Amino acid sequence: MKANIPGRHRLVLAVARLLFTLRHPVLVVRFVMKLGYLPNPAAPESYHERLLWRKIVDRNPQFVTLTDKLAAKAHISSACPELALPRTLWSGRDPADIPLDLLAGEVIVKTNHGCAMNIFVASGDPNRGLIVAKARHWLRKRYGRRDGEWAYWPIVPTVFVEERLALSGARIATDIKVHVCGGVVTHAWVEDKAAGRSLLFDREANPLPGRDPDYPRDDQAVPVNARLLNYVRQAVSIAPAIAGNLDYIRIDFLVTDNCLYAGEIVVYPGAGYGTTTNPAFAGEIERLWRLDRSHYLRRRHSGLARFYASALRATCAADAGNR
């Protein structure tokens, strides 16, 4: 905790830390198990502590919109109409209502309220019965409870069918993930899921060292070529328009041979636990992620929350003064 903030603020933050820890013991214990240190969820400093703070404190209603895969498409289309989007071919509450002809081609059946809920369909396989059973199971789940990702909880679960893009895996990449703080890009992370490799870039599209847990070896770096660099520069230029004035967000893109497509908007990257071997990745986000620009600290508060918000704002001001 900053020594140059008034003692009353330090006391408030110390009490808040105790209360947050007692109220969310499972999240704190999981944080320690995943990342190896005891977090301060009341006055966060590290990248991962800030994500924990976001889960516990910053209930920005826009996070729900951006986390909802269908609502996020509408947001992206409004913010950046020139960016291609995978077409939504059908959506509804009951997967049994999916038109038969849609499942005869190459599509993806998804739900809008969670991650890793995708069924890749090609030439009628898997069969309709399996698709309906799996989608109904997903629709009954309340995703995000385990890791405290509350923005998933208010989403009305919906199943939808989306066109299946021919991604450029093993040629260029499959995904580009751009981290944005207050309209400023910090990094872009390129992933090739087909070939099992990745690469980190700075905001100028310069490759950086460092691996991630999914692709830890140096020989799992995505090869750099002119087409990849062009796509990274496009993604870096587009992402701030989609991010708007949010204090921190990740904007994902899908890579095809012909153009860049919008992917998802991610409020809690890696469920709050994602790491890399390059400390500059988290360090740059920590430098630019201003909590005083968060939804929580932009609001007026009453009662005890007013004292906490005031103390946290003082900490943010001290951070800004030390830079």
- The two three-digit tokens of residue 265, written as one number: 């908007």
As a whole number of angstroms, the distance between CA 160 and CA 177 comes to 23
- The two three-digit tokens of residue 25, written as one number: 């013991």
Name the pTM for this structure: 0.95
Residue 58 has pLDDT above 90, yes or no: yes
- The two three-digit tokens of residue 251, written as one number: 């904007």
Rounded CA Rg of the chain: 21
CB 60 within 8 A of CB 295: yes
The total number of residues written for the chain in this structure? 323
| pLDDT for 2 | 57
Q: If you average pLDDT over every residue of the chain, what do you get?
A: 95
| pLDDT for 1 | 52
As a whole number of angstroms, the distance between CA 181 and CA 240 comes to 9
As a whole number of angstroms, the distance between CA 270 and CA 279 comes to 16
| pLDDT for 319 | 80
As a whole number, mean pLDDT of residues 45-54 equals 98
Contacts made by residues 285-288, CB under 8 angstroms, sequence distance 24+? 285/47, 285/179, 285/181, 285/186, 285/187, 285/248, 286/45, 286/46, 286/47, 286/50, 287/323, 288/181, 288/182, 288/184, 288/186
User: Confidence band (pLDDT; 50, 70, 90) for 176?
Assistant: very high
Q: What is the pLDDT of residues 304-321, one digit of tens each?
A: 999 999 999 999 998 876
Place of tokens 């991604």: 167
User: Confidence band (pLDDT; 50, 70, 90) for 286?
Assistant: very high
251: nearest Cα among 41, 86, 130, 72: 72
